[in-house]
Structure 1
Amino acid sequence: MALTVSLRGTREVRANCQIFRLTGLLDAFSEPTFRKVLTRFVEQGPNNIILDLTGIDFVDSSGLGALVQLVKKAKDVGGTVQVVANPRVLQTVKLVRLENFLSLRSSVDEAVTNLG
């Protein structure tokens, strides 16, 4: 799915979760669309979300804010969000001390296992 010119992704729905694999930029430009689309998918369910951000080249404060809002939205509907990050995204997340809040995982497989 093309969220914006700078942010693309795929969505895989499994019995107990949705896996989003995103590439590009999660920034002020793509954040409104990202937030709108992902919120809709959380509401549709399943409400356990795994975000594979290993293909993200850049995330800014707007992108981090959208991730925080997504976690809160998922919790509101009894779900979870886990994030798989590359070193660049990981560094940004750790800089603002959100690694625990965003439930960082080293791989999609680890995140899926963690659901059980």
Structure 2
Amino acid sequence: MPGGPDPISELQRLTVSLRGGFEQKDQCLVLNFTGQLDAYSEKQFSKYVTGILKASKLPAVLDLSKIDFVDSSGLGALVHLAKQCTDVKRAFHLVGNTRVSQTVKLVRLEDFLHLVNDLPTALNKLAA
């Protein structure tokens, strides 16, 4: 997306409980989300992320550091997106806060989802 949109300063409302936006940073797509990733928002989340990823071939970071809650439906959406990225050989990382990380680690998906603690770490790993 060279010459593409400027970083989104205000996140788009995907559902009542989930907002999302994206920007290009260091030759990577960074998708940011706030709110809850659950059964009520996972369809909109998946549709939004898939649409953005289809428009670019850049490596991607899903930044969930501002997500308050993720349930099994949200985890399912993350696994599905990870499979899509793996199938097309797209590098990606998931940034999680304490709650997200605990949930991902509880089901032992941290390696599959390429979980990292912060955005700079994710960007450094993708740039390497």
TM-score (norm 1): 0.93
Where do 1:9-48 residues align within 5 Å?
9-14=20-25, 16-48=27-59
TM-score (norm 2): 0.85
Kindly report the root-mean-square deviation, in angstroms, between the aligned alpha carbons of the 2 structures.
1.3
* Residue 74, structure 1, aligned to residue 99, structure 2: no
- Any runs of at least 4 consecutive aligned residues in structure 1 with deviations exceeding 2 A, and if so which? none
After TM superposition, the structure 1 stretch with the greater mean CA deviation from structure 2, 5-14 or 29-38, is 5-14
Distance 1:47 1:68, change over 3 A: farther
C-alpha separation in 2, matches of 1:74 and 1:14: 18
* Residue 92, structure 1, aligned to residue 73, structure 2: no
Q: Would the aligned equivalents of 1:8 and 1:22 in 2 still touch at CA under 8 Å?
A: yes
Letter in 1 for 2:94: V
**Equivalenced residues, count:** 116
Residue 115 of structure 2: aligned partner:
104
Give unpaired runs (5+ residues) of structure 2. Answer: 1-11
* Residue 52, structure 1, aligned to residue 33, structure 2: no
Identity of aligned residues (%): 49
Q: Would the aligned equivalents of 2:29 and 2:60 in 1 still touch at CA under 8 Å?
A: yes
Q: Which has the larger radius of gyration?
A: 2
Give unpaired runs (5+ residues) of structure 1. Answer: none
